[in-house]
Chain A
Amino acid sequence: MNDDLAKLLAFVDKGGLGRRAFLGRTAAFGLTAALGTTLLPQGLKAQEAKKGGVVKLGLQGGESTDTLDPGLANAPAKNNVVRQWGDTIVEVAPDKALVPRLAESFEGSADSVTWTFRIRKGVKFHDGSEMTPEDVAATYRRHSDENSKSGAFGIMEGIKEITVDGDNVVITLKSGNSDLPYLLADYHLQIQPKGGMDNPDAGIGTGPYKLVSFEPGLRYVFERFADHWDPARGHYDGVEVLVINDTTARTAALQSGQVHAINRVDPKVAKLLSRAPGVQVKSIPGPGHYVFIMQVDKPPFDNKELRLALKYAINRQEMVDKILDGFGTVGNDFPINASYPLFDESLPQREFSLEKAAEHYKASGHDGSPIELYVAEGAFPGAVDAAALFQASAQQAGIPLEVMRVPDDGYWADVWNVKPFCASYWSGRPVQDQMYSVPYLSNAEWNDTRFRNQEFDDLIIAARAELDEAKRKEMYSQAAMILREEGGVIVPMFNDSVDAISEGIAGWIDDPQMELMNGFLTQKTWFA
């Protein structure tokens, strides 16, 4: 066995390489797959989950103002908390397959307008009552109510009617959407007793862990729910979620063994952290991306030449190297990357070019007054540094870009969607349709770039009902090119999600959808 292979094996043992990747690389050493399999370390063979222990998560993204209402979950700590006590009716597996959960099965009509979900029987809520199809329907009604504060309201808008038919919940849409089950896997849509109508923040669900106590923004304690319907989930005796917003404090807590897993590792220190003893860093490419958004209806951004000038003046590779320290990939001014189904790899990549930037800037006839880019540290990690890099390269192209740093406090209320040019982020959506529809359709609620393009709208809406995958892919490619040329969004980079866990945790599966295995870390892993 040569040295490289030994290293590779050690790497697999540390959990740094998945099974398939391991077999792929052994082939490169001239070994057969069969031999590769026999060499496969204990760690990757079918593993038996062990029960027991209390797992502690140290999470960014919680405040003392938080509630347990899953509809209001909008930051990482809260998003992970709902995964402990709740279940959705379907899940999207790490490989993007749909997995029925509280629904036993589901099917859509031929036109994708009517969807029928057969609800599982014998599932108990933490308060001892039995979950019924009425609870499911009530949950969806609560989130789709016009007066709802739910973060899922946007994805429920297409629903016309929710009815209960025996063991089934039947959802009728306003128009066909073949992606509906993906939408119902959304983490806001945890099924609650009576839909949580009377008590939305009780924290009672059907999940594998039952809430014992909590202090908002500080600590959530769960114990294993003995009557959980799925014995394959929830191997720990208990879960503790600690909110640690300070990045340095979070990594220090993991290194000193006070927590077993943390989210949002600063990419700048990810490599340094991975050298620390007892720690595994998990970097997973995903659909999340950082953006600079220009409102195309406000001067000077109503000028396409100026928008192109700025798009050429941003050095994407430098940003990936310095802001993400390599934990990410360059963006191409539309919000889709290879982590989406039906992504077209052949679309041309926008390259950094000071000449083209200067050319377009000249063509725009801009008067040379300062172009103000608003940014706060909280817009995305490293946003202020990224803006400084953008400013430096833009000024080389003769574009008078000025950075206006504002406090995190009030950024989403007073700057984002208000100032014509600012930094922001998108965490990605399960399917292309949603990622395009939520911010870029003419009538979209969150159209933060004020992009209105009839041709683009037509393509996205037609693609929704299109059943031929090749045609659908072609439509998305055309839409991408329109947005890339005409749009107000600059996408410099797609960020990997970087988590870190202690070596004692076994059963990790990379899941690109959300951090910490899409929030399922405590459900699917165990102490080795």
Chain B
Amino acid sequence: MTLHPVARLAAQRIALGLLLLFAASVLIFLGTQILPGDVAQAILGRSATQQSLATLREQLGLNEPALTRYFSWLAGVLHGDLGIALSNGQPIAPALAKRLGNTLFLAGAAAVIAVPLAILLGLISVRYLNRWPDRLISAVTLATISVPEFLLGYIVIFFLAVQYQFLPSLSTVYDGMSFGARLHAIGLPVIVLVLAVLGHMMRMTRAAILNVMQSAYVETAELKGLRPFAIIAKHALPNAVAPVVNVVMLNLAYLVVGVVVVEVVFVYPGMGQYLVDHVAKRDVPVVQACGLVFAAVYIGLNLVADIVSILANPRLRHPR
């Protein structure tokens, strides 16, 4: 039995993705090895003495050759064991799972608002092309995209938390918090993230639809006397899906892997802060684990984008 071409392509891409993951883990490991200092020095900090450094290195197994350490880590991962953080002796998997959950929660909340809003604004922009709604949307989204996120963060803290106490300035979430309380806590970072990713997706939607609007079938629809918004939403948008999905995936990846600054400003316990802390401590197993998750998210989202593009395009769906 032969596989459907799309399934075969997906299988190929998944295999390739796994290979990429492996390569990424090697690259990340190399990165941690070239960083100056090691975890022993980082743990002891200013109170390090030669004696205590040597003892700690021995305890943590840092005197093993780099290759041995990499492969013992890899063997662990293949058995589903992410190991133990060198810096505080806590098992990595549960801590990482919690952080990843938080990150996905924040990214998800931002995406649920940003994606439909960006597409809607894109549609409105095309509908009123070069008229004031288009220009207004363009200018505002460009402005929000251009303000550094940390500043955007401080501005919303100032107005919405300190001046009017509308939402909390701290977004710390923890076990035992209800879903509603969590949503309330992440209000401000969601606002900042939505503003940060909205512009890019909206501009992409607008550009992609404009591209399609010149096609013959859109002209036909126009000649049939359909209402402009119906033409855009029902005829142009479905044919602009591939580029829109691509940019949406890029931004989703950004929401997952790129928000460390927002986490710092709002004290949100996500993956980014967790990774940066452990890079600073040279805690290689944790950095490896985080890197693996980030790479997997990126590769996975790309895979989804590719497959959706293929499914959306009949010519790609049925290759010659």
Residues of A within 8 A of B (CB): 58, 63-67, 72, 74, 146-149, 151, 153-154, 201, 213, 215-219, 242-246, 248-249, 252-253, 255-259, 408-410, 412-414, 416, 445-446
Query: Taking the complex as formed, is B172 at the interface, i.e. its CB lies under 8 A from any CB of chain A?
Result: yes
Contact A248–B264 (Cβ < 8 Å): no
Known: A258-B168, A409-B279. A64 touches B273 (CB 8 A): yes
Contact A252–B157 (Cβ < 8 Å): yes
Tell me the nearest residue of chain B to A257, going by C-beta.
Answer: B165
Beyond A242-B267, A413-B42, list 7 extra A-B contacts (CB 8 Å).
Answer: A63-B281, A67-B88, A217-B273, A242-B170, A248-B157, A249-B169, A445-B49
Q: Provide the residues of chain B in CB contact with A414, threshold 8 Å.
A: 36-37
Tell me the nearest residue of chain B to A424, going by C-beta.
Answer: B46
The distance from the CB of B181 to the nearest CB of chain A, in whole angstroms, is 13
Compute how far the CA of A66 lies from the CA of B37 in the bound complex, rounded to whole angstroms.
18
Contact A249–B265 (Cβ < 8 Å): yes
Compute how far the CA of A65 lies from the CA of B47 in the bound complex, rounded to whole angstroms.
17
Compute how far the CA of A286 lies from the CA of B35 in the bound complex, rounded to whole angstroms.
37
State which of A67, A252, A410 has its C-beta within 8 Å of the C-beta of B162: A252
Known: A65-B88, A258-B169, A410-B36. A252 touches B47 (CB 8 A): no
The distance from the CB of B91 to the nearest CB of chain A, in whole angstroms, is 12
State which of B49, B89, B98, B266 has its C-beta within 8 Å of the C-beta of A249: B266
A-B contact pairs, 12 of them (CB 8 A): A64-B269, A72-B43, A147-B52, A201-B88, A244-B267, A248-B154, A248-B265, A249-B266, A255-B162, A256-B168, A256-B169, A410-B35
Closest A-B pairs by Cβ, 10 of them: A65-B87, A413-B37, A67-B88, A413-B41, A252-B169, A147-B55, A63-B277, A151-B47, A64-B277, A65-B281
Question: Which residues of B, 245-274, contact A by the 8 Å Cβ criterion?
Answer: 264-267, 269, 273-274
The distance from the CB of A427 to the nearest CB of chain B, in whole angstroms, is 10
Query: Taking the complex as formed, is B158 at the interface, i.e. its CB lies under 8 A from any CB of chain A?
Result: yes
Residue-wise, chain B 5-19 has the 8 Å CB interface mask toward A (1 for contact) of 000000000000000
Q: Provide the residues of chain A in CB contact with B89, threshold 8 Å.
A: 67, 201
Q: Provide the residues of chain A in CB contact with B147, threshold 8 Å.
A: none
The distance from the CB of B277 to the nearest CB of chain A, in whole angstroms, is 4
Known: A153-B47, A416-B46. A63 touches B52 (CB 8 A): no
Contact A412–B88 (Cβ < 8 Å): no
Compute how far the CA of A67 lies from the CA of B281 in the bound complex, rounded to whole angstroms.
13
Contact A154–B162 (Cβ < 8 Å): no
Query: Taking the complex as formed, is B174 at the interface, i.e. its CB lies under 8 A from any CB of chain A?
Result: yes
Contact A258–B157 (Cβ < 8 Å): no
Q: Provide the residues of chain A in CB contact with B93, threshold 8 Å.
A: none
Q: Provide the residues of chain B in CB contact with A218, threshold 8 Å.
A: 172, 174, 267, 269
Q: Provide the residues of chain A in CB contact with B265, threshold 8 Å.
A: 246, 248-249
Contact A249–B162 (Cβ < 8 Å): no
Compute how far the CA of A193 lies from the CA of B287 in the bound complex, rounded to whole angstroms.
34
Contact B37–A410 (Cβ < 8 Å): yes
Known: A253-B169, A413-B41. A149 touches B56 (CB 8 A): yes
Q: Provide the residues of chain A in CB contact with B277, threshold 8 Å.
A: 63-65, 217
Compute how far the CA of A242 lies from the CA of B173 in the bound complex, rounded to whole angstroms.
11
Compute how far the CA of A147 lies from the CA of B56 in the bound complex, rounded to whole angstroms.
8
Compute how far the CA of A218 lies from the CA of B266 in the bound complex, rounded to whole angstroms.
12
Tell me the nearest residue of chain B to A258, going by C-beta.
Answer: B170
Contact A65–B169 (Cβ < 8 Å): no
Compute how far the CA of A22 lies from the CA of B157 in the bound complex, rounded to whole angstroms.
37
Contact B175–A213 (Cβ < 8 Å): yes
Contact B161–A256 (Cβ < 8 Å): yes
Q: Provide the residues of chain A in CB contact with B212, threshold 8 Å.
A: none
The distance from the CB of B47 to the nearest CB of chain A, in whole angstroms, is 5
Tell me the nearest residue of chain B to A216, going by C-beta.
Answer: B88
Compute how far the CA of A431 lies from the CA of B215 in the bound complex, rounded to whole angstroms.
83
The distance from the CB of A274 to the nearest CB of chain B, in whole angstroms, is 15
Compute how far the CA of A228 lies from the CA of B200 in the bound complex, rounded to whole angstroms.
58
Compute how far the CA of A245 lies from the CA of B276 in the bound complex, rounded to whole angstroms.
13
Query: Taking the complex as formed, is B214 at the interface, i.e. its CB lies under 8 A from any CB of chain A?
Result: no
Compute how far the CA of A59 lies from the CA of B21 in the bound complex, rounded to whole angstroms.
38
Q: Provide the residues of chain A in CB contact with B168, threshold 8 Å.
A: 256, 258
Known: A147-B51, A410-B35, A413-B42. A215 touches B174 (CB 8 A): yes
Compute how far the CA of A58 lies from the CA of B172 in the bound complex, rounded to whole angstroms.
11
Contact B280–A215 (Cβ < 8 Å): no
Tell me the nearest residue of chain B to A256, going by C-beta.
Answer: B161
Q: Provide the residues of chain A in CB contact with B35, threshold 8 Å.
A: 410
Compute how far the CA of A154 lies from the CA of B48 in the bound complex, rounded to whole angstroms.
10
Known: A410-B35, A412-B45. A149 touches B278 (CB 8 A): no
Contact B162–A412 (Cβ < 8 Å): no
Contact B264–A245 (Cβ < 8 Å): yes
State which of B44, B264, B283 has its C-beta within 8 Å of the C-beta of A149: B44
Query: Taking the complex as formed, is B85 at the interface, i.e. its CB lies under 8 A from any CB of chain A?
Result: yes
Query: Taking the complex as formed, is B211 at the interface, i.e. its CB lies under 8 A from any CB of chain A?
Result: no
Question: Which residues of B, 268-300, contact A by the 8 Å Cβ criterion?
Answer: 269, 273-274, 277-281, 283
The distance from the CB of B62 to the nearest CB of chain A, in whole angstroms, is 14
Compute how far the CA of A227 lies from the CA of B63 in the bound complex, rounded to whole angstroms.
46
Contact A74–B47 (Cβ < 8 Å): yes
Q: Provide the residues of chain B in CB contact with A413, threshold 8 Å.
A: 36-37, 41-42, 45, 48
Q: Provide the residues of chain B in CB contact with A245, threshold 8 Å.
A: 264, 267
Contact A149–B45 (Cβ < 8 Å): no
Compute how far the CA of A149 lies from the CA of B274 in the bound complex, rounded to whole angstroms.
23
